[in-house]
A and B are shown apart, each in its own frame.
Chain A
């Protein structure tokens, strides 16, 4: 919770850029998740003949991560109206996988965004796995909310590549059934997906002054740890529940005001069940549960970019007033009793939605998104 213990001013989202398996731009992504149309196909980017799983949600060809990051950051800045001459003091927070390519990719991005967007460089690179992007958004919102920054750009990227594909395959984290089935009976693993995403966040006062188009707001945020296991989530969902409660508390928003949750669920046995337990801890176990879907069922798991991708999907859902589908569902699982969006997109009639994520190490984040 914040020091004041009260609600904080919402932070405006004024720019979005995205690349996903569905193509470049946010429109193809929004259409795919609304329709529950999965983007999985056999991988052609590299050799998968030695792998037990061959599917992922990937763009055609072999896109370069740094180039795509520069491109989506430019898109987000353009939509936001952030001109290069005004961007020199705007922090950029980046989410990337931690490996020997982290620093070289970051250096190429820094050079590109300096030339094309006027941003001075990368302020910080987050490498905390599947919560990298959401941790960056939380920090950005904190910077803006406290007055330390007027605008912040957050970007994250992961493109399906041979090494993580192989190690996830070796660890049997990937489903061999060709598509993931979050929260479903018979779920048996995730599939990886491409995502490169950028958002521009700014104070509502700044957005108002510029007469900027506000897509949505970051109304609250929370981060917590399970303190339970190297990679297994705490089964009762208490860690994620604390992150959600902190996000709600920061915003001064009650659980009943939340109409949609974009879930972390990847299609794993214990992870999905623990997340459902967390949501029931916060929202109760009866009528009144918010609608829930995991759009990983459509765009796949984008690792370090997953949380920012799902935040973008949540923003688009509120903007378009359409709740995305939880695709791949085969039937109910007693551990995952939730109000899932199943048969088709559902009209969104809510002022608030949550984007929640969990990662190895028991890391949890919750971002409360407010309708514009």
Chain B
């Protein structure tokens, strides 16, 4: 095992990985999660997006093409796509394409149109996934209440990775894995192995690996780590 001098993360020596940057959440007792436009109810997606953003900002060898500007939207705002607006769109079967989301803030990707894309894979490892969204859907179904339409767009973990990829113009593979329950709590050797394979296989030049878990109660115990890796020279 190799414990890097700079980053608080252990990389198995059998893997050919080099750490480019690292971040975690929370980093202080009063750390906060900026909301993401269009995502509602759950802290999971802001958690993933924030730790990813911190990690990418801290890289010291930033690709010149990978320029970022701040998103123009702000705030988790389900009012931007309220029920009436959803019903008024008049689309049929276009929801899967996200055409209903133009008012939801999802277009505030914040990427620089002039920047060339980077072939960075996004790999999300989470045992529990987005528990709060799953619970909100299940409770609405069980109680017979109306299911909030926006929950459709965050019903799987790929969605927030799409948000990150669009902002940063990251064109590598988008992969989510659920590690065994006893490995919850941070970046595991198994997740690093998957990252190593994505690089060895050649579909990406870098991998942004994110491990995220929600706490048992809303807003309590959420935690995440992110590490940006490439192949060791």
A residues with a Cβ closer than 8 A to B are: 1-3, 50, 96-100, 102-103, 106, 122, 124-129, 131-132, 135, 138-139, 142-143, 146, 162-164, 166-176, 187-190, 222-233, 239, 242, 246, 266-271, 359-363
Contact = CB atoms under 8 A, between A and B. Distances in A.
A227 B170 contact: yes
Contact of B93 (A2, A267, A361): A267
A167 B151 contact: yes
A3 B196 CA distance: 13
Interface of B: 38, 86, 91-101, 106-107, 109, 111, 117, 121-122, 126-131, 134-135, 137-138, 140-141, 144, 146-149, 151-153, 155-163, 165-166, 168-181, 190, 194, 197-198, 200-203
A97 B102 CA distance: 27
Contacts of B201: 2, 138-139, 142
A88 to B, nearest CB: 18
A127 B156 contact: yes
For the complex of A and B, the 9 pairs showing the least CB-CB separation, nearest first, are A171-B152, A189-B93, A361-B158, A270-B97, A361-B162, A232-B98, A363-B174, A223-B173, A98-B129
Given A1-B202, A170-B148, A242 B171 contact: yes
A97 B166 CA distance: 23
B95 to A, nearest CB: 4
Contacts of B140: 166
30 contacts: A1-B202, A98-B129, A98-B178, A99-B129, A100-B131, A102-B178, A124-B177, A126-B176, A127-B126, A127-B157, A129-B156, A131-B174, A139-B194, A171-B95, A171-B155, A173-B95, A226-B166, A227-B170, A229-B166, A230-B159, A230-B163, A231-B159, A232-B101, A233-B97, A239-B171, A266-B96, A268-B97, A269-B99, A360-B158, A361-B174
Contact of A359 (B38, B146, B151, B158): B158
A127 B178 contact: yes
Contacts of A167: 137, 147, 151-152, 155
Contacts of B190: 124
Given A124-B177, A190-B96, A172 B166 contact: no
A172 B138 contact: no
Contacts of B126: 98, 127
Among B91, B158, B202, which residue has the most Cβ atoms of chain A within 10 A? Answer: B158
Given A99-B129, A128-B158, A270-B99, 10 more contacts: A135-B175, A171-B95, A172-B94, A174-B93, A222-B203, A223-B198, A269-B97, A271-B96, A361-B161, A363-B158
Contact of A124 (B121, B165, B194): B194
